[in-house]
Structures are given as C-alpha cells and as structure tokens.
Structure 1
Amino acid sequence: MTKKVLRTFQYIFLSICAFVSIFPFFWMIIAATNKSVDVTKGTLMPGSYFMENLKAVLSSDLQYTTAFKNSLIISVVTTILAMIVSSAAGYAFVIYRSKSRERVFNIILLSMMVPFAALMVPLFRLFSKFNSVPLLKTIALNTPGAVIVIGISTAFLIFFFRQNTESFPKELIEAARIDGVGELGIFFKIFMPTMKSTYAAAIIVTFMNSWNNYLWPLIALQSPERRTLPLVISAMGSSYTPDYGMMMTAVVLATVPTALIFFLMQKQFVAGMTGSVKG
C-alpha cells in the first residue's frame, strides 16, 4: 500500500513538472495563431490568425528571412568547426601525455569561471583592430566570422570531449598505429566514428548555444543585414506597440531548427551525455 501511494505521488509530481515544462511551448504556439489583442488577454484557445502573422513576419522591415539565413550559416559553420577543434583538443589531452598537460587543462577549466560580460570590452577592442589586417578581415567586427570564431573552441566542449575520450578503447589506437595508420587517420577514421554519440550530444549543445546567442552578436554585428534571429526578435518587442502575435510566430519559426535537431538526435544525445562510446 505504501509503495502504491509513493508511486502515485511520484506520478503526480512528474505530471506537474511536465506541465510546467511544456506549457510555455503550448502557449507560444497558441499565441502564434491569435491576434496581438487576444494574446494580451491571455487566451488559451487556438485562433485562425496564423497565416496573417506569418505574412507579417516575412514582410517585416526587420528582414526576418535574412536573419534566419544568417543564424543558420553562423550556427552550422560554428558547430562543424567546433566539433573538429574542440574534439581534437579533448582527444589530445587524453591520448598525448606530457608534464604540463594537467596544468594547461586546469587553466582551461579556470576560464569557465570568467563571465562573458567581463570579456566583452577586450573582445570588442581586439576584433575592431582586425579590419586593418588583411588576413583577419573575415573575422573582424560586423562579419559572421567575428561570431563564429568565438564559439569554435570553448572550455566546456574541450572538457566534455576529454571526459568522454577517457572511455575510448586505447587498444584501437595501438592497433591502428601497428597497421601504419597516421595520427590524423586515427582521429578522423577511428575516433570520430566510434564516438558518434558524444559528437551528437556536442552538436546539439553547440548548435543551440550558437542559434540562441544574443549578447556577442548584438555587439559584433552592427549592420541590419548582418543581424541574427535573437536580435531581430528582440527588436520586434522593443517597438512602442509590439505585435505579440507576430512575435510569437517569429519565435515558433526560430524554434523549429533546434527542436528538429534535438528530436532527430535525442537517442544519441542521451547516450553521449551518459558517456557511451557506441552510438
């Protein structure tokens, strides 16, 4: 009897948690189908105004489609480069041993303690000087490169790949070296396919962070045609009379890519976060 009561309370608690988690998304979708007036009234019933809101978003002076394309390019490129650079760093910290290895890794971990707000001014001054250097103009201010290069290598990703590489079977590396496979071949042909669950988890985290990034793009991307989705959605809400129906439609469209990636890779994501080697 006690077990049944306990299980009942567990289901009730989990149901409440699920409702609290899902309700914002439910309300967002409902709001996207209603007029701004209905949204401010707090209606919870689906409306028939979604197509009008969608047309308003696509025809907005804020260039939503351009911002969507900018966010997609920045997020995809950042994710691809981050997977190569950060995973190579995490791999090297485990496979190649040296006396200063732990010291360097500890310094990287300490960098996680520094808030990004403390780095904004130094980064802005640094990237503002790249315009005068021909080889660095692609990552100067007001270019997608300025946003991409910041997310390529992060302390969290290096730490994440290092911890998961600890479970990588070292026998595969030794066997590959005996067969004459080079170090790059081992990394790209053996390590990466074997650790695909870890890569899946890292891809989801990196893509979502890049897609939702607001603070640094706000500083680095100064032209309207360079803005990303978070900047455009923020601008929608900063008007004197914001159209909440249009805003929620814009948010729904912006949520689709991240939700799609997560649902397609959720099994690998769970396996990667739990440290599984096989995907």
Structure 2
Amino acid sequence: MRHWRPRGTTTLLTIGGLVMLAPFLWMFSTSLRSAAASVTVPPRWLPTQWHPDNYTRLASDDYPVLRFLQNSVLVSLLATTGIVITSALAGYAFAKLEFRFRNALFGLLLVSLMIPIQVTIVPLYVIMGKLGLIDSPWALVVPALLGAFAPGIPGAFGIFMMRQFFRSTPDALIEAATIDGAGPIRIFFRIALPLAKPALASLTVITFILSWNDYFSPLIFLNSTDIMTLPVGIQSLRPPFGQQSSLVMAAVTVALIPVLLVFVAGQRWIVQGFTRSGLNE
C-alpha cells in the first residue's frame, strides 16, 4: 500500500495539471485554425487545416499587435521598476528605522490592501487629468514612479513583503555598520539591499505579471489605439475586424509568452522570497 501512495499522488497531480493545461492547449489550437473552423460545432481539439498565417497577420500593418506588445513592455518595465524601488525603500524603513507612528502608518498601509482599485480610480483619474496625462501611457507609470502604487498593482503588498524580508536581516549587521560610521542610506545600499536579492527578484516577477495582465486601468486611461497595451488592444481587435476568434487567440498566445518566460526565469526566486519573508511576524 505504501508503494501505491506516491503513484496515486503523482496520478492525481498529473490529471490536475492536464485539466489546468487544457484551456491553454485549446487556445493554441484555435490560433492555428481558420476563422470559420474556430466556431465549428462540435468543436475539435486539433484543426483539420493548419493556419500559421494567423501569426504572420499579427505582424502586418492591419493588426497593430506588435505595437500593443511594445506598449505593454514599456509600461510594465517602468511600473515594475517604480514599485520595486519604492517598496524596497519603504519596507526597509518600516523594518529597521525608528520613527513616530511607524506601527500606525504600517497598519494603515495594510488596510489599503482591502481597498480595490475601483474605489480610488475616480480621484486618480482626476489627478492624471490635472497633469494632462489622460490618454498617455504615463498615466499608468507615473503613480508607480512616485510611490508604491500603480493602477492594478497592490503596492502595499510589495512594502509588506519587503518589510518582512528586511526584518529577517540580523540587527547585528546594522549595528556593526552603524558603529563603523555608516549612515542609514549607506547601510541600505551596501548591506540590506544585496541581502534582499531573492525578495527583490520575486517582487519584480509578481509586479511585472500583474502590470502586464492589467486590463481595467488601461481601459480607463487609454483611448487611442496606438498607445493601448495588450489586454485592451487585443479586445479592440474584435469589433473592427469581425469575430475572428482564431486571430484573437493568436494574439493572446503571443501575449502569454513574455509572462511565461518571466515566471519560469523567476519562479525559484518567488519561492525563496516568500519563504524568507514569512520567517518573522
């Protein structure tokens, strides 16, 4: 019986993995069909005729998917950079620096995790309008560069994660550096930050994926087709070009590739970051 338990667990996990993989296989299969074959009844898992030209059409001038891809890369990289920098600075301050109302401010920060973006989108839209950034990618980037928040990205989570990680840094290192005459800024950049590479890497991966998949905020702030990100841009392909499910699925497959690459490259750091961040209360 003991020999059957590992095999049974492996079988169940394999079945569960195939079930979760099925929508992605269907997406890729649909992307290789013709427009008519993508809506046939009953549906078929494999196309009778392969149409890889759906992907080549995405590179044409008629379908600006590559432009959407470029916009998503720019917005995601800038937003991720802003979130990671501000989260690291604020997390270290909450973990290692003493100042008035530190615990109260951190409590308010955690409360903000329970506030959805839909609640704050109106004042944020007004602010971006006053700055003249509506219908500009900077409306998605500026909040991240100015603070640990960006539309669609829970910045408070990044601060909490970095704070928990920095709490695991031995105080003896900080005290030794202080005795040697190092100030808080030098201690942060020379000691704390190099030790936080796992947490920084995992936060980078998580933030990039959230920013890349964000649909609500670009839908609110962006109107022009040439500056849309992929989630909104792919949806905009349908009305002017008809119900071409195969073409849309091809665009979704292209949009999925960067996320998979980033996740595969950083999954080890994600596990390490969460493990180290959970060592302290």
TM class, shorter-length: 0.7 to 0.9
| Worse-matched range after superposition: 223-232 or 185-194 | 185-194
CA drift at 1:48: 2.8
Counterpart of 2:164 in structure 1 is: 163
Once residues 220 and 50 of structure 2 are traced to their aligned partners in structure 1, the CA distance between those partners, rounded to angstroms, is 38
Distance change >3 Å, CA 223–CA 165, structure 1 → 2: same
Counterpart of 1:180 in structure 2 is: 181
Counterpart of 1:268 in structure 2 is: 269
Counterpart of 2:141 in structure 1 is: 148
Query: Which runs of structure 2 are paired with 1:40-51 in the superposition (5 Å)?
Result: 40-41=39-40, 42-45=43-46, 48-50=50-52
Note the aligned Cα RMSD (angstroms): 2.1
Counterpart of 2:68 in structure 1 is: 67
> TM-score by structure 1 length?
0.88
- The answer on 1:23 being equivalent to 2:22 is yes
Counterpart of 1:10 in structure 2 is: 9
Query: Which runs of structure 2 are paired with 1:97-108 in the superposition (5 Å)?
Result: 97-108=98-109
> TM-score by structure 2 length?
0.87
State the AA in 2 paired with 1:12. T
Once residues 39 and 172 of structure 1 are traced to their aligned partners in structure 2, the CA distance between those partners, rounded to angstroms, is 61
Does the Cα contact within 8 Å between 2:161 and 2:277 map onto a contact in 1?
no
Identical-residue share of aligned pairs (%): 33
Counterpart of 2:201 in structure 1 is: 200
Does the Cα contact within 8 Å between 1:67 and 1:232 map onto a contact in 2?
yes
- The answer on 1:128 being equivalent to 2:129 is yes
Does the Cα contact within 8 Å between 1:151 and 1:210 map onto a contact in 2?
no
Does the Cα contact within 8 Å between 1:68 and 1:254 map onto a contact in 2?
yes
Does the Cα contact within 8 Å between 1:141 and 1:221 map onto a contact in 2?
yes
Does the Cα contact within 8 Å between 2:57 and 2:63 map onto a contact in 1?
no
Structure 2: 5+ residue stretches without partners: 149-154
Once residues 200 and 24 of structure 1 are traced to their aligned partners in structure 2, the CA distance between those partners, rounded to angstroms, is 29
Secondary structure in structure 2 of the residue aligned to 1:149: helix
| Worse-matched range after superposition: 30-39 or 101-110 | 30-39
Q: Deviations over 1:15-50 (max 9, x none)?
A: 222112222222222222222233223322265312
Does the Cα contact within 8 Å between 2:164 and 2:277 map onto a contact in 1?
no
| Worse-matched range after superposition: 67-76 or 232-241 | 232-241
Q: How many residues align?
A: 267
Q: Deviations over 1:241-264 (max 9, x none)?
A: 321221111111111111111111
Q: Runs of 4+ in structure 1 displaced over 4 angstroms? A: none
CA drift at 1:171: 2.1
Once residues 194 and 276 of structure 2 are traced to their aligned partners in structure 1, the CA distance between those partners, rounded to angstroms, is 15
- The answer on 1:33 being equivalent to 2:32 is yes
